[in-house]
Amino acid sequence: MNFKYLLLKSILYTIIIALSSLIIGGGYAYFYLTESVTAPESVKIEKGSSQNALDALNKLSVQTNIIDKITLSLLGGAKSGNISLDGAKTRIGLLKALAKGKQKNMTVTLIPGETTEVFLRNLSKKEELNLEKLKAAYYTHTSAPDGMLYPESYSLMLDSNETKIVDELFAFSKKKFEALQKEYGITSEEFEKKIIVASVVEKEAASKEEMPLVASVVYNRLKINMPLQMDGTLNYGIYSHQKVTPRRIREDDSSYNTYKNRGLPKYPVCNPSKEAINAALRPASTDFLYFMRNKEGKHNFSNSYTEHKSNINDVKKSNR
């Protein structure tokens, strides 16, 4: 009788200890998993076990232990790649993000009027990409230094390599350009020439509203074989944001120098916006041959050199 009583008491005691440990352990795990964490925006996880994910967190100063490992396993394990952790404010939220595996994207923005050279340089610096690989990938698609990419904000996979990034930029741009070409009902050859005009307009116009007027000046000068003589055409490539000086005009022997050469440059000066392309395709109907930036930052347009000189003198007077 005493033996059975002692055995029952021992079993009951063991059960109580086990339940107490379970309750205490469960409570600890609950508070541990719901504690606040400062998570990075994303984490790069190599393929393999979930331990790779925990190791990656440890390197980012988010310490983990066996509870994280067990919980992550119960959630189905971690995905690989550049995983977005945006919005994860608790440890359990962090582990769920690892298990969900939502890929973190990067935003790549090509500003209207920017040259491809400057764009690729900025992209390589911002996303730590190889500039020469970006350029090599670009020139597998075209021989034109500019005018082949559509200005836009692109959302790309964070772990995309240089070739994939450039391929996506070209794929998107091709669709946009083909849609415009179809809309205006012109051939590919005609559209390419319009892109060159659009790039000049983009560099010269002070606003979107001025673009059709600037385009009319370009066409009017071309019609009478008058040199364009526009500074903006010399803001090509690496010179995108450099002031055009008299010395530069004298020394630049490229086709972009419209002071030395008649007609359009051989290639677009930049990657023009849709508004500039529309202006090149539908210019204003004017007889303007000149334009001069005034003190308000806009342009005064004129059809005679006498009037143009008067506009120049007005600007000089206002600057005194």
Of the listed ranges 17-26, 72-81, 234-243, the least confidently predicted one is 17-26
Report pLDDT digits (tens) over 9-55: 567 667 666 666 556 655 666 667 788 777 777 777 777 667 887 78
Where residue 241 falls among pLDDT bands split at 50, 70, 90? Answer: very high
Write the pLDDT tens digit of every residue in 112-159.
999 999 999 999 999 889 999 999 999 999 999 999 999 999 988 877
Q: Is the CB of residue 230 less than 8 Å from the CB of residue 224?
A: no
CB neighbours (10 Å) of residue 23? 10
Q: In sequence order, what DSSP letters do the residues of 75-128 get, joined into one string?
A: TT----EEEE-TT--BHHHHHHHHHHTPBPEEEEE--TT--HHHHHHHHHHHTT
User: Taking a C-beta distance cutoff of 8 angstroms, is the pair 219, 201 a contact?
Assistant: no
Domain extents in the chain: 1-32, 34-103, 105-170, 181-319
Alpha carbon distance 105, 82 (integer Å): 8
